[in-house]
Amino acid sequence: MKVVALVSGGKDSCFAMMRCIDYGHEIVALANLLPIDDSVDELDSYMYQTVGHQIVVSYAECLGLPLFRRRIQGSVRHHNLSYKTTPGDEVEDLFILLNEVKRQIPSVSAVSSGAIASDYQRLRVENVCARLGLVSLAYLWKQDQSFLLEEMINRGIVAIVIKVASLGLNPQKHLGRELGDLKDYLLQMKEFCGVNVCGEGGEYETLTLDCPLFKNARIALDKSQIILHSPDSFAPVGVLHPLAFHLVHKMDSVSCKSMESNDFTSEKLNLVFEVEGDFLPNDLEKCRNMDTADGFVPIEQIKMCVSTCTRDTFSIGCWVQHSSSSDGMQKDLTAVMHAIELQLKKHDLDWAHVLYIHLYISDMKQFGLANEVYLRFITEKKCYLGVPSRSTIELPITEVGLGNAYVEVLVSKDLCKRVLHVQSMSCWAPCCIGPYSQATLHKELLYMAGQLGLDPPTMLLHPDGPAAEMDQALLNCEAVANCFRCSVSSSAITVTVYCSSVSSFELTEIQNRMDNFLKHTLLNEGLRRASSPLVLYVLVTNLPKGAHVEVKPVLHCTEDGKYEVHPALLKTYEPCVSDNSSFKNIEWLNTCCNINVVPEKICAALIYVTKDHAAIICHEGDENVEIVFRGTSHEHMKAIALFFIHLIDRIISDNGFSWQHLKNLRFYVLKDLVAAADVLFSVFSEAFFEFAESSKKVEANKEPIFNLVPVLCSGRSSSMDSLITCELYASKL
């Protein structure tokens, strides 16, 4: 990509440019914001570093690139962490500046910044980039600061300290010193009093005088003045005010034409452009409101299930039954999203209450069209606390009468979620460029977006096949989990592994990689847990970007970072709700399920019914009877449904929970077992109704309280031998 680099003069923005080049991008322009008054060194801003701005003008000649500059006219007017367009805010100066760069250099598609740890800065750069259709590149984001400092110095960045504001740093002693000379001292101060060695806590700021990108010249500071802003005896604040400097031209300087872009002529190179103008109305941001007529899809075709017995946290599933439209993706998804929106309104809720979205589509080739529709409903404005996390997979939904788009949303009645949404490309984890987040934390449960085996800095799939993709996907999951002070190995309740276009050998290797990751991560981090997470393997028809693997964990995340997850087994007494003979052998029942429990908080379970299990359930122990998949009778399917329901009841009651604590209930059904989804929904609904009538433990609802998801196969291991797998979550949180 062709990149405009935000430069403040500091080491971080210069090193960020070097990282961009490392990953194959081309820097074609520089952009800088400075105070209105040249005599002012520093503004009261969390957004911009301006100390040393008097020298940044020389960067155009040093790098042989055009420099766009704008004097900051705005001030801090929007104080929340997540930014929204605010006239007169200093962020709008950045918007005007980059808008002009894009106007003059239309090929620019990305913006580089030196953000390391500041969410405040990153989110504002991402906001501006999103509005201008640019990609944010933040290759220093979440990197270890000691490692970064070492690498900056080793790779030839020569920078001096031009501001100090920290315990242990003295204006008279340290201002003007080169970073390389202070490295050991900064590392000592990190150990002594927790100083951020890259200055991310505001401890110090730097001015880069030379680096490998300065092909034409380096900067020599001739004269400067120390100005004390605060003479505090513990942490004095002082800046180095430049008075005179000159450029020392390099003998081996390259021609500027080597960095010339296709649409920016050589006559413009080495020039400094002053960008003026007032706040621009944000006419570049398209209105995403959707006026959808109820009759867009016949209302009788829109089907819905509400997967819960309670209304504090619940799941809504929606699809268009027996859709036959040739351009059905957009129409079906529009109808589904609109129906969910109306359902939310019935509960006095909106999209801001949604925690997670499962987007099942019939054809991954139409993902772009699906995303266009999705963007009309899920916007930053509507989801003002953060857009929900998301998993997108292709399933054979059309074949079983579930239309071209099937959506599940997990909803909470309260607004206490915490969202991680990083849209910048970085070395940390894959970015989410769009209206979905890497993870959403709600009441100690962390719902993570499906992670592919993408290399974060390039956003390309690992080239070495499914097993390597699995390794990378798990590393990406771990990077996201670490932001919430937890780990997949020590904190995951369940992990769903979606696989596509893989052989049986590759599936076995994928499972081995999962087992090894869980074991070795615990050992390396010195962590312990009472049980492993429940791992479900699901074979699907396709995944985004043609990936072979997508990993979707749900974690228990607490403030103190301590997790007590226990395996649970069915107790030995006979169930009082059923005299079904399938329940008489307790050892056999335990082979059907895996359960994890956080006492008095969470109960999660996976229940598997294989062909052998189905034979026992339907034929009273005759394990030799074959169940013919598509020809399975109504009686057999109802017997299997009742088995699931009674076993769910037993699991939640044995572990101190009730049906009112159930938050989500999903059945992954072998596609070959489903002649038509509406028939299967009817059979399961009938079984649930009978249970509700006899047990009085659950209301006899008109709408199903479960989701049925057709898959190629599923199971607890890579063999994926289940006919139906049930996934349940109950919570008292």
Rounded distance, CA 573 to CA 576, Å? 9
Pairing of strands 405-412, 354-361: antiparallel
Q: Which residues pair with 604 in a beta bridge?
A: 596, 729
Among 380, 413, 446, the domain boundary falls at: 413
Same domain, 468 and 358: no
The reported pLDDT for the residue numbered 68 is 97
Same domain, 104 and 220: yes
Amino acid of residue 234: F
Give a yes or no: residue 286 inside a domain. Answer: no
Q: Does residue 622 surpass a pLDDT of 50? A: no
The reported pLDDT for the residue numbered 627 is 47
Give a yes or no: residue 480 inside a domain. Answer: yes
| Pairwise pLDDT comparison (630 vs 53), residue with the higher score | 53
| Pairwise pLDDT comparison (282 vs 361), residue with the higher score | 361
Same domain, 421 and 409: no
Give a yes or no: residue 511 inside a domain. Answer: yes
Same domain, 134 and 185: yes
Phi/psi of residue 644, each to 5°?
Answer: -60, -45
Greatest distance between any 2 Cα atoms in the chain: 94
Q: What percent of the chain has pLDDT over 90?
A: 65
Give the total number of structural domains in the chain.
Answer: 4
Classify 620 as helix, strand or coil. coil
Q: Does residue 575 surpass a pLDDT of 60? A: no
For the record, the structure tokens of 483 come out as 């932001």
Same domain, 377 and 494: no
Phi/psi of residue 191, each to 5°?
Answer: -70, -35
Q: Does residue 106 surpass a pLDDT of 70? A: yes
Query: Do residues 718 and 508 touch, judged by C-beta distance below 8 A?
Result: yes
Pairing of strands 204-210, 217-230: unpaired
Among 525, 559, 593, the domain boundary falls at: 559
Contacts 24+ apart (CB under 8 A), 229-236: 229/42, 230/165, 234/167, 235/165, 235/166, 235/167, 235/169, 236/164, 236/170, 236/171
Please give the full DSSP string across 348-375, using - where no structure is assigned.
T--GGGEEEEEEEES-GGGHHHHHHHHH
Give a yes or no: residue 564 inside a domain. Answer: no
- How many CA atoms, within 13 angstroms, populate the side-chain half-sphere of residue 517? 26
For the record, the structure tokens of 511 come out as 């499972």
The CATH number that applies at residue 670 is 3.30.1330.40
Phi/psi of residue 412, each to 5°?
Answer: -120, 140
Same domain, 110 and 245: yes
Give a yes or no: residue 81 inside a domain. Answer: yes
Same domain, 191 and 175: yes
Model confidence pLDDT, tens digit, residues 337-392: 999 999 999 889 999 999 999 999 999 999 999 999 999 999 988 998 999 999 99
Which residues are within 8 A (CB) of 2 and not within 5 positions of it... i.e. 6 or more apart?
25, 26, 28, 105, 107, 108, 109, 110, 261
Same domain, 159 and 210: yes
- Taking all residues of the chain, what is their mean pLDDT, rounded to a whole number? 87
The reported pLDDT for the residue numbered 12 is 96
Rounded distance, CA 364 to CA 500, Å? 12
Q: How many residues are present in the chain?
A: 733
For the record, the structure tokens of 549 come out as 């693997």
Residue 415: exposed, middle, or buried by beta-carbon count in 10 A (0-12, 13-18, 19+)? exposed
Same domain, 232 and 313: no
The reported pLDDT for the residue numbered 366 is 93
Model confidence pLDDT, tens digit, residues 678-725: 888 889 999 999 998 888 888 766 678 899 999 999 999 999 999 999
Rounded distance, CA 604 to CA 56, Å? 57
Same domain, 427 and 403: no
Q: Does residue 596 surpass a pLDDT of 60? A: yes
Count of other CB atoms within 10 angstroms of residue 241: 19
Give the pLDDT band (50/70/90) at residue 615.
confident
Model confidence pLDDT, tens digit, residues 383-441: 989 999 999 999 999 999 999 999 999 999 999 999 999 999 999 999 997 789 999 99
Give the pLDDT band (50/70/90) at residue 317.
very high
Among 413, 428, 456, the domain boundary falls at: 413
Rounded distance, CA 298 to CA 320, Å? 9
The reported pLDDT for the residue numbered 526 is 57
Helices 504-525 and 466-482, axial angle in degrees (round to 10) = 30
The reported pLDDT for the residue numbered 278 is 80
Rounded distance, CA 410 to CA 554, Å? 13
Rounded distance, CA 224 to CA 243, Å? 5
For the record, the structure tokens of 420 come out as 């991680």
Give a yes or no: residue 647 inside a domain. Answer: yes
- What average pLDDT does the segment 322-336 reach? 81
Count of other CB atoms within 10 angstroms of residue 201: 15
Please give the full DSSP string across 195-206, using - where no structure is assigned.
--TT-TTSSEEE
Domain residue limits at 235: 2-251+271-277
The CATH number that applies at residue 41 is 3.40.50.620
Same domain, 191 and 154: yes
Give a yes or no: residue 527 inside a domain. Answer: yes
Q: Does residue 313 surpass a pLDDT of 90? A: no
Give a yes or no: residue 473 inside a domain. Answer: yes
Question: Which of 81-95, 479-493, 552-566, 580-594 is the least confident region?
Answer: 580-594
Same domain, 540 and 516: yes
Query: Do residues 29 and 108 touch, judged by C-beta distance below 8 A?
Result: yes
